[in-house]
Structure 1
Amino acid sequence: MDDTNWSRLDDAVRKAHGVLMDKQEGDGYWVFELEADCTIPAEYVLLEHYMDRIDEELQVKIGRYLRRIQGEHGGWPLYYDGKFDMSASVKAYFALKAIGDSPDEPHMVRARKAILQHGGAERSNVFTRFQLALYGEVPWEATPVMPIEMFLLPRKAVFSVWNMSYWSRTVVAPLLVLAALKPKAVNPRNITVQELFTRPPSLIKDWIRGPYRSRWGHVFKAVDVAIRPLEKRSPKWLREKAIKVTVDFIMERLNAEDGLGAIYPAMANAVMMLKALGIPDEDPRSVAAWKAMRRLIVDYGDEAYCQPCFSPIWDTGLAGHAMLEAASGPEGVQPEETAERMTKAAEWLLSKQILDVKGDWALNNPTLPPGGWAFQYENDYYPDVDDTAVVGMMLHRDGNPAYEEAIERARHWIVGMQSSNGGWGAFDIDNNVYVLNHIPFADHGALLDPPTADVTARCISFLAQLGHKEDRPVIARGVEYLRAEQEADGSWFGRWGTNYIYGTWSVLCALNAAGVSPTDPAVERAVEWLKSVQREDGGWGEGESSYEGGPRGQYKESLPSQTAWALLGLMAAGHRDDPEVQKGVAYLVETQKEDGTWEEEPYNAVGFPKVFYLKYHGYSQFFPLMAMSRYKNLGHTNSRHVQYGL
Structure 2
Amino acid sequence: MADTALKQAENGPRVDLDALEDLIADTRSEYLKLQRDDGHWIFEFEADATIPAEYVMLNHYLDEIDDPLEAKIGVYLRRIQSDEHDGWPLYQDGAMDLSCTVKAYYALKLIGDDPDAPHMRRARTAILAAGGAERANVFTRIALALFDQVPWRAVPAMPIEIMLLPEWFPFHLSKVSYWSRTVIAPLLIMMAKRKLAANPRGVDIRELFRTPPEDVRDYNVNPTGSPVGSFFLSLDKLVRRAEPLFPRNKREKALQEALAFIKPRLNGEDGLGGIFPAMANTVMAFEALGIPKDDPDRKIARAAVDKLILDRGFEAYCQPCLSPIWDTCLGMHALLEAGEAPDSGPMLQAADWLLEREITDVVGDWVWKRPDLKPGGWAFEYWNDHYPDVDDTAVVVMALHRMDAERYRGAIGRAAEWVIGMQSSNGGWGAFDAENDRQYLNAIPFADHGALLDPPTVDVTARCVSMLAQIGHDIGSPPVARGLKFLRREQEKDGSWYGRWGVNYIYGTWSALSAFNACGYDMSRHFVRRGVDYLLSMQRDDGGWGEGCESYEAGGRGFARGSTPSQTAWALLGLMAAGEVDHPAVARGIGYLMQAPRDGAKWDEDLYTGVGFPRVFYLRYYGYSAYFPLWAIARYRNLKRKNDRKVAFGI
Q: Same fold (TM over 0.5)?
A: yes
Aligned letter for 1:269?
N
The ranges of structure 1 where at least 4 consecutive aligned residues each deviate by more than 2 angstroms after the TM superposition are 1-4, 209-213, 468-471, 549-554, 592-597, 636-639
How far the C-alpha of 1:15 sits from its partner, in A, is 1.9
Per the alignment, residue 154 of structure 1 pairs with 166
How far the C-alpha of 1:595 sits from its partner, in A, is 3.2
SS at match of 2:338: helix
Distance 1:4 1:213, change over 3 A: closer
How far the C-alpha of 1:7 sits from its partner, in A, is 1.8
Contact 1:139–1:202, Cα closer than 8 Å, also in 2: yes
How far the C-alpha of 1:549 sits from its partner, in A, is 2.2
* Residue of structure 1 aligned with 2:427, choices 409, 422, 439: 422
Per the alignment, residue 99 of structure 2 pairs with 87
Per the alignment, residue 246 of structure 2 pairs with 234
Contact 1:463–1:471, Cα closer than 8 Å, also in 2: no
SS at match of 1:305: strand
* Residue of structure 1 aligned with 2:28, choices 13, 17, 31: 17
How far the C-alpha of 1:639 sits from its partner, in A, is 2.6
Superposed, which structure 2 residues align to 1:30-179 within 5 Å?
30-71=41-82, 72-179=84-191
Contact 2:222–2:443, Cα closer than 8 Å, also in 1: no
Q: Deviations over 1:580-610 (max 9, x none)?
A: 0000001000114263431110101110011
Per the alignment, residue 380 of structure 1 pairs with 385
* Distance in structure 1 (CA, Å) of the matches to 2:146 and 2:186: 13
How far the C-alpha of 1:470 sits from its partner, in A, is 9.8
SS at match of 1:298: strand
Q: Cα RMSD over matched residues?
A: 1.4
Per the alignment, residue 566 of structure 1 pairs with 571
Q: Deviations over 1:240-293 (max 9, x none)?
A: 111101111001101212111110000000000011111111111111011111
Alignment of 1:182 onto 2:187: no
* Distance in structure 1 (CA, Å) of the matches to 2:523 and 2:205: 58
Per the alignment, residue 606 of structure 1 pairs with 611
Per the alignment, residue 331 of structure 1 pairs with none
Alignment of 1:251 onto 2:263: yes
Distance 1:487 1:78, change over 3 A: same
Q: Deviations over 1:363-414 (max 9, x none)?
A: 1111111111100011110001100000000000001522110000000000
* Distance in structure 1 (CA, Å) of the matches to 2:15 and 2:604: 24
Aligned letter for 2:381?
Q
Q: Deviations over 1:98-146 (max 9, x none)?
A: 0000000000000000000111000000000000011111111000001
How far the C-alpha of 1:637 sits from its partner, in A, is 2.5
Q: Deviations over 1:406-465 (max 9, x none)?
A: 000000000000000000000001101110000000000010000000000000000000
Contact 1:499–1:553, Cα closer than 8 Å, also in 2: no
How far the C-alpha of 1:500 sits from its partner, in A, is 0.3
Per the alignment, residue 399 of structure 1 pairs with 404
Per the alignment, residue 463 of structure 2 pairs with 458
Alignment of 1:325 onto 2:337: yes
Per the alignment, residue 218 of structure 1 pairs with 230
Per the alignment, residue 11 of structure 2 pairs with none
Aligned letter for 2:536?
K
* Distance in structure 2 (CA, Å) of the matches to 1:310 and 1:577: 38
Per the alignment, residue 330 of structure 1 pairs with none
Q: Deviations over 1:529-585 (max 9, x none)?
A: 100110011100000000112443441211000000000000000100110000000
Contact 1:12–1:596, Cα closer than 8 Å, also in 2: no
SS at match of 2:641: coil
**Worse-matched range after superposition: 632-641 or 591-600:** 591-600
Q: Deviations over 1:40-65 (max 9, x none)?
A: 00000110111111111100000000
Q: Deviations over 1:169-207 (max 9, x none)?
A: 000000001111110111111110111111111111111
Alignment of 1:346 onto 2:375: no
Contact 2:269–2:307, Cα closer than 8 Å, also in 1: no
Percent identity reads: 56
SS at match of 2:104: helix
* Distance in structure 2 (CA, Å) of the matches to 1:593 and 1:432: 41
How many residues align structurally?
Answer: 639
* Distance in structure 1 (CA, Å) of the matches to 2:492 and 2:313: 46
Superposed, which structure 2 residues align to 1:247-646 within 5 Å?
247-327=259-339, 335=341, 339-399=344-404, 401-468=406-473, 472-593=477-598, 595-646=600-651
Contact 2:365–2:387, Cα closer than 8 Å, also in 1: yes
SS at match of 2:274: coil
Per the alignment, residue 3 of structure 2 pairs with none
* Distance in structure 1 (CA, Å) of the matches to 2:303 and 2:280: 11
How far the C-alpha of 1:520 sits from its partner, in A, is 1.3
SS at match of 1:402: coil
* Distance in structure 2 (CA, Å) of the matches to 1:38 and 1:538: 32
Contact 2:15–2:587, Cα closer than 8 Å, also in 1: no
Gaps of 5+ in 2: 1-5, 8-13
SS at match of 2:317: strand
* Distance in structure 2 (CA, Å) of the matches to 1:233 and 1:266: 29
* Distance in structure 2 (CA, Å) of the matches to 1:199 and 1:552: 36
Per the alignment, residue 10 of structure 2 pairs with none
**Worse-matched range after superposition: 514-523 or 261-270:** 514-523
* Distance in structure 2 (CA, Å) of the matches to 1:551 and 1:641: 34
Aligned letter for 2:213?
P
Gaps of 5+ in 1: 328-333
Contact 1:52–1:187, Cα closer than 8 Å, also in 2: yes
Contact 1:257–1:288, Cα closer than 8 Å, also in 2: yes
Q: Deviations over 1:503-523 (max 9, x none)?
A: 000111011001111111111
* Distance in structure 2 (CA, Å) of the matches to 1:155 and 1:9: 57
Contact 1:540–1:553, Cα closer than 8 Å, also in 2: no
Contact 1:298–1:304, Cα closer than 8 Å, also in 2: yes
* Distance in structure 1 (CA, Å) of the matches to 2:621 and 2:557: 20
* Distance in structure 1 (CA, Å) of the matches to 2:255 and 2:204: 30
Aligned letter for 2:385?
D
**Worse-matched range after superposition: 119-128 or 551-560:** 551-560
How far the C-alpha of 1:14 sits from its partner, in A, is 1.4
How far the C-alpha of 1:471 sits from its partner, in A, is 7.3
Distance 1:298 1:472, change over 3 A: same
Aligned letter for 1:18?
S
Contact 2:474–2:480, Cα closer than 8 Å, also in 1: no
Contact 1:257–1:377, Cα closer than 8 Å, also in 2: no
* Distance in structure 2 (CA, Å) of the matches to 1:108 and 1:554: 31
* Distance in structure 2 (CA, Å) of the matches to 1:569 and 1:151: 45
Distance 1:637 1:353, change over 3 A: same
* Distance in structure 1 (CA, Å) of the matches to 2:139 and 2:79: 24
**Worse-matched range after superposition: 145-154 or 29-38:** 145-154
SS at match of 1:630: helix
Contact 1:12–1:592, Cα closer than 8 Å, also in 2: no
**TM-score between both structures, scaled by the size of structure 2:** 0.96
SS at match of 1:401: coil
Distance 1:19 1:547, change over 3 A: same
